[in-house]
Structure 1
């Protein structure tokens, strides 16, 4: 039987606004690099960053819970001018955070 994946906790937020600015810039860069640079990418990165910052200010450190919050709250975002959706954005945020923590995300490790 496979072992369950252990939860990943981010360090407690010392400066959520600074984390949010980093995430907004990193996500915007990722969006532009992955497909096409388009104006909506900035709006997507801004919204995801706002959700992330609010969650961190409320004390949320669990990566899985942060991803679920982003998926849930991005459902209301109008993605009609984008090639992305809420799941792609939440997964990208997760990958960016894991990379920033030096956690290898390849092959389920």
Structure 2
């Protein structure tokens, strides 16, 4: 029988604003690396980091819940001038956070 996947929980936020600045800069860099840089990438990174910071300030530490919050709130963002969409952004946030925790996210490896 397959064992359920344990949730990934971030340490409690000590400085959510600093975490948000890191996410904003790291996501913006990732966006500009994956496809040719676009001016809208700064706005995407800003919005995703705002959602993340708010969730962390409200005490959310579960990675899955954080990613779903980013996905849900990015659905209202206008991606018409971007290569990306809300799912790509939520997945990127997840990957970046996993990287920061030292957790391999490639190919289902743990």
- On whether the aligned pair clears a TM of 0.5, the verdict is yes
* RMSD between superposed Cα atoms in Å: 0.7
Match of 2:82 in 1: 82
Matches within 5 A, 1:1-109: 1-108=1-108, 109=110
CA distance in 2, matches of 1:60, 1:94: 14
How far apart are residue 106 of structure 1 and its match?
2.0
Gapped runs of 5+ residues in structure 1?
none
The structure 1 segments of at least 4 consecutive aligned residues displaced by more than 4 Å after TM superposition are none
Q: How far does the alpha carbon of each residue in 1:72-101 deviate from its partner, in whole angstroms, 9 at most, with x for none?
A: 000000000001000100000000000001
How far apart are residue 7 of structure 1 and its match?
0.3
Q: TM-score, normalised by structure 2?
A: 0.96
CA distance in 2, matches of 1:107, 1:91: 14
